[in-house]
Amino acid sequence: MAFIRITAITPGAKGTCKYDRTCLDMDFARESGLLKYSYWLHHVKVGDTLIVPYKMIDEIRENGKGVFEFKLEHPKYANQTLYSDTNPYEVVEWKSETCVVLRPMDTADYTGPMGEHCDTYISRPDWPTFTVREHKNGGLYEAGTNCCPYILAEKPYYRRDPSF
């Protein structure tokens, strides 16, 4: 998966919203491939960060020629969802666009009625690292596994489900 940040939208170009000419229309954004994994956005505007498969970047660039421009970004964090829990990881190194080295993060200052959220994330350079790769479905997985993908994120997130 890749993070792209929209840097420019041509006002009034084909594909912009009819109500706000500085945003992309939801249908155009879907057809161009921008909303494949960022489906919660209704109108894409300058500054939005979208998650797209790395192999689709050239196709998206071609579909948006003259309408929008974007730049590729490398996020600093990844979150792993284990059923109803979420654990934070930091990106240590990008080996390639589809291969990332991660390290778990420590958490502190829990909030919520049963301590299910976290306010403080601590980097631990002495903790072990591991490599995840992008599968053909777009998720990042450890070698030999096919469940519990790692999702790239702009900030770390921790959640513990108190029901289990």
pLDDT of the chain, 164 residues: tens digit per residue: 778 899 999 988 888 888 888 899 888 888 888 887 776 677 788 988 888 877 888 999 999 999 999 998 888 999 998 888 889 999 999 998 888 999 999 988 888 777 778 889 999 999 999 999 887 766 788 877 777 788 888 889 888 887 76
The answer as to whether 34 is a domain residue is yes
Three-class DSSP category at 30? helix
Q: How far is C-alpha 89 from the chain's CA centre? A: 13
- Picking from 157, 83, 154, the residue whose alpha carbon sits closest to that of residue 119 is 157
Query: Are 89 and 39 in a shared domain?
Result: no
Q: How far apart are CA 27 and CA 152, in angstroms?
A: 25
CB-CB neighbours of 150 under 10 Å: 22
Query: Are 85 and 37 in a shared domain?
Result: no
How does DSSP classify residue 16?
Answer: B
Query: Are 53 and 81 in a shared domain?
Result: no
Query: Are 124 and 56 in a shared domain?
Result: no
Q: What is the pLDDT of residue 143?
A: 78
Q: What is the pLDDT of residue 103?
A: 95
Query: Are 56 and 10 in a shared domain?
Result: yes
Whole-prediction pTM: 0.73
The answer as to whether 10 is a domain residue is yes
In the chain, the number of structural domains is 2
Q: How many residues does the chain have?
A: 164
The answer as to whether 158 is a domain residue is no
Query: Are 82 and 134 in a shared domain?
Result: yes
Query: Where is the domain boundary, 73, 106, 126?
Result: 73
User: Count of alpha carbons within 13 Å of 4, Cβ hemisphere only?
Assistant: 27
**String of b and e for 33-64 (b: at least 16 CB within 10 Å)?**
bbbbbbeebeebeeebebbbbbebbeebbebb
Q: How far apart are CA 112 and CA 103, in angstroms?
A: 26
**What are the residues whose beta carbons fall under 8 Å from the beta carbon of 19, sequence distance 6 or more?**
none
Structure tokens at 140: 């990042």
Query: Where is the domain boundary, 73, 92, 124?
Result: 73
Query: Are 23 and 91 in a shared domain?
Result: no
Query: Are 32 and 50 in a shared domain?
Result: yes
The answer as to whether 163 is a domain residue is no
User: Count of alpha carbons within 13 Å of 113, Cβ hemisphere only?
Assistant: 3
Query: Where is the domain boundary, 24, 40, 73?
Result: 73
CB-CB neighbours of 29 under 10 Å: 29
Query: Are 53 and 88 in a shared domain?
Result: no
Query: Are 54 and 29 in a shared domain?
Result: yes
Q: How far apart are CA 51 and CA 3, in angstroms?
A: 5
Task: Tell me which residue range forms the domain holding 103.
Answer: 77-153
Query: Are 68 and 109 in a shared domain?
Result: no
Query: Are 110 and 68 in a shared domain?
Result: no
